[in-house]
Amino acid sequence: MTELVLKNVSRRYGNTLAIDKVNITVANGEFLTLLGPSGCGKSTTLSTIAGLDRPTGGSISFGDNVLFDAEDGTFLQPEARGFGVVFQSYALWPHMTVEGNVGLGLKLRKIPAAERNKRISEVLDLVGLGPLAKRYPGELSGGQQQRVALARAIVFRPPLLLLDEPLSNLDAQLRQQARVWLKDIQRELGLTTIYVTHDQDEALAMSDRIVVMRSGKIVQLGTPQEIYRTPVHPFVASFIGNANLIEVTGGAAAQAGGCDVRLADGQVIRAQTPLGNLNAGKQLLAVRPHLISCTKADNASEVAVEFGMENYLGDHFEQVVRVAGTEMRLSLDEPRPRGGGKIWIRNEDAMVFEAER
């Protein structure tokens, strides 16, 4: 089985540490997503794998091939790695037809014309662009250009596919469609794929596993379900699922991994502790907007709040409430009248973390 292995990979630019001792193992045929906000190091990590950026520490191997090793100076050039790469900018040659753009890599690899034409035809049919083979990029929509870029990356049958925010230039509807066919193609071809995005919906919908990054480091690595349901850090809870984060003070430990925490105004909420018992002092309570109820619920903490402004978002309302000097967001079918009121937070839906880790 061919695995991609990154061991303690770091990349420093002067005094700036862009990625810091990143350790990842990607299995054969896996779809792994690097997820995080701008500047977290996800694109830099992808570039080190592609060979477009040389790390300053650690090692990278793919199967039996060492791509980079800081200790002995090994560095395999990008063209020798043979990976397929698709960037945010599709970088298509405007003077070449669709089939010309797709087949350029095969031509440079001196693939015979008959075999080249066969592969071009197969891959264009795979991405649904067979009838557009003679068109030029300027005659295509953004979604079609994106498919050309993908076809060009997979036509030479790369052992690893690297995608750097390839859907970011598409509108919302096209992005949703593209997620489906891109994942279908990846599964059909069995391509080991590393995908970079800052879009949590893309990551959850497409990935076998997700690497959540922040400030050049891996915060959590796991399946989409693990990342969403059992975050190990308040940043993960807020970035995946947009959880409210509220500063609280820890109270007495409770059974089943939970504890009581106090808001600034003294109100008590029962919450789960995903990482076990917490130290005394300031902590962060994480609650997702759609898990907060405005009707009384069993095994729930009752909290007095002040209802504020609401926004209509199509399938739901988002309403702001003020509690203990801070704001929270609620996801509701119908907004509540502004002014004083109550909300209920179920014990199992609230998570508490140490404020600084």
- Looking at the fold, whether 26 and 175 belong to one and the same domain comes out as yes
- Total domains, the chain: 2
CA distance 197 to 34: 6
Q: What is the DSSP string of 116-145?
A: HHHHHHHHHHHTT-GGGTT--GGGS-HHHH
Confidence check: pLDDT of 241 > 80: yes
pLDDT of residue 1: 58
What CATH number does the domain containing 260 carry?
2.40.50.140
249 and 152 share one domain: no
Whether the per-residue pLDDT at 48 is higher than 60: the answer is yes
Is the same domain home to 13 and 126?
A: yes
Tell me the per-residue pLDDT of 336-350, one tens digit each, with 9 for 90 and over.
999 999 999 999 999
Do residue 214 and residue 291 come from a single domain? no
Give the range among 57-61, 67-71, 109-113, 353-357 with minimum mean pLDDT. 353-357
pLDDT digits (tens, 9 = 90+) for 91-102: 899 999 999 999
Where a domain ends, among 234, 258, 275? 234
Instruction: Report pTM.
Output: 0.89
Q: Which helix (H) or strand (E) holds 302?
A: strand 300-312
Q: What is the pLDDT of residues 153-172, one digit of tens each?
A: 888 889 999 999 888 877 88
**Whether 175 and 281 share a structural domain:** no
pLDDT of res. 355: 78
pLDDT for res 57: 97
Give the pLDDT confidence score for residue 259 in this predicted structure.
85
- Whether the pLDDT of residue 137 is over 90: the answer is yes
Which of 41-50, 57-66, 171-180 comes out lowest in average pLDDT? 171-180
With residue 182 as reference, give the H or E element that holds it: helix 172-189
pLDDT surpassing 80 at residue 109 = yes
Mean pLDDT of the chain: 91
C-alpha 208/C-alpha 183 separation (Å) is 10
Whether the predicted pLDDT of 43 surpasses 70: yes
Task: Kindly state whether residues 270 and 227 are assigned to the same domain.
Answer: no
Asked whether residue 309 falls in the same domain as residue 256, the answer is yes
Same structural domain, 168 and 254? no
Identify the pLDDT of residue 166. Answer: 85
Using left for φ > 0, alpha for ψ between -120 and 50, and beta otherwise, residue 236 falls in alpha
**What are the tokens at 170?**
């598409």
156 and 122 both lie in a single domain = yes
Q: Which of 314, 318, 317 is nearest to 327 (CA)?
A: 318
Residue 114: which CATH number? 3.40.50.300
Assess whether 32 and 141 both reside in one domain.
yes
Per the structure block, which two tokens stand in for 102?
A: 């797709």
Burial 7-37 (b: 16+ CB within 10 A, else e): bebbbeeeeebbbbebebebeeebbbbbbbe
Residue 280, domain extent: 243-354
Cα separation of 217 and 74, whole Å? 24
Residue at a domain's end among 181, 216, 234:
234
Which helix (H) or strand (E) segment holds residue 287: the answer is strand 282-287
Residue-wise pLDDT tens digits, 242-260: 899 999 987 555 555 578 8
Q: If we measure between CA atoms, which residue out of 243, 254, 300 comes closest to residue 277?
A: 254
